[in-house]
Amino acid sequence: MGRRRLMTAVAILLLAAMAAYIVARRGELGYLQRLSINVLLATLACQLLAHLMWNQAMLVPLRQHVRLGYWELFAVRSGGLLASYVVPVAGNVGVRLAYLRRRGLRYPDFVWATTVSSVLGLLAAAMLGMLALGALWAVAGPPPPLVAGLAAAVLTLGLAGVASLRWLPAFAGHPRFRSQRWVAVVSRHEMTLRVVAQVLAASIGRHLFSFISFGLLYQELAGGRTQFLTGGLVYAITSPMRIVMVTPGNLGIIEWIVGAVGTLLAFDLTTGLVVALVFRAMSLAGQGVGLLMGAALVGVRGSAA
């Protein structure tokens, strides 16, 4: 309880600091008029597609252990997302785990499937980031060394995660660890090429649509022919912060980090904060649209049956 209150207090402080910063520079916000309804609708559509792809990326490894419907998981994930704004980490994971365990999924299998989708998702974002970095290098010249280093670090983290998942079951199967029940369960998992290909393809789709969302928002607000790629690169570099929850929904954390990384690429901090806030709003709206769409489809199928 004390930890939860501390996280909530940190989120409130970060949001208050953000509000104070933006209000103090409200004279700079005239460029918000550039944010057209078409761009907002395009961002919403991209976020809807991103959530659909994300759901598929999580569904594939889970189906190795439990029978689960696509929209069933989408509804559970939506509940977990809302819970994460109340209880960081435990809220999201707790909702999904509580439901899936009633469906017969064991805790080690849940952890394995979640880790597989998260690690391959990180690798997918890193791959897009490196492609954007290369394209920017070709168009606008060498990027700042720190930006190149951050992109390389995200790629290294993703590759290391995949290598660890490939190596971990074999390590857990060593005779020395057979007496440990938890380790013995891990040894039964494996990273098949089919699962890796399906999860990675869905993850690339998910991050590509979010990459496009960031690119559109930065291009609209900052202008310039390279701002689309640059904005997408900011998303790719900051993608690890969407895995580890610190505050409820990572409120404040993501916004400030996006703003800080954007300043390394010549964006002003205010623009970065606004882009992160709009992206969060469109992401939540996209999740909501997906939930309504799923409910409608399930309802039609149910009535037809």
Token code pair at residue 239: 């993608």
Q: Which residue has the tokens 């594939």?
A: 60
pLDDT of res. 185: 55
Locate the domains of the chain by residue range: 2-13+36-304
Which of 71, 43, 44 lies closest to 55, judged by CA?
A: 71
- Phi, psi at 144, each rounded to 5°: -55, 140
Whole-number pLDDT of residue 187: 57
Cα–Cα distance for residue pair 271/217, rounded to 1 Å: 9
Q: How far apart are CA 244 and CA 42, in angstroms?
A: 27
pLDDT value of residue 176: 59
**Angle, vertex CA 253, rays to CA 247 and CA 254, nearest 5:** 120
As given in the structure block, the two tokens for residue 277 are 């806030």
Note the pLDDT of residue 303. 42
Residue 262 pLDDT: 92
Low-confidence ranges of the chain (pLDDT < 50): 303-305
Q: What is the largest CA-CA distance in the chain?
A: 67
Confidence (pTM): 0.88
Rounded-to-integer distance, Cα 157 and Cα 240, Å: 9
Residue 201: which of 129, 98, 81, 120 has the closest Cα? 120
Q: Which of 81, 293, 114 minimizes the C-alpha distance to 199?
A: 114
Please tell me the predicted confidence (pLDDT) of residue 88. 61
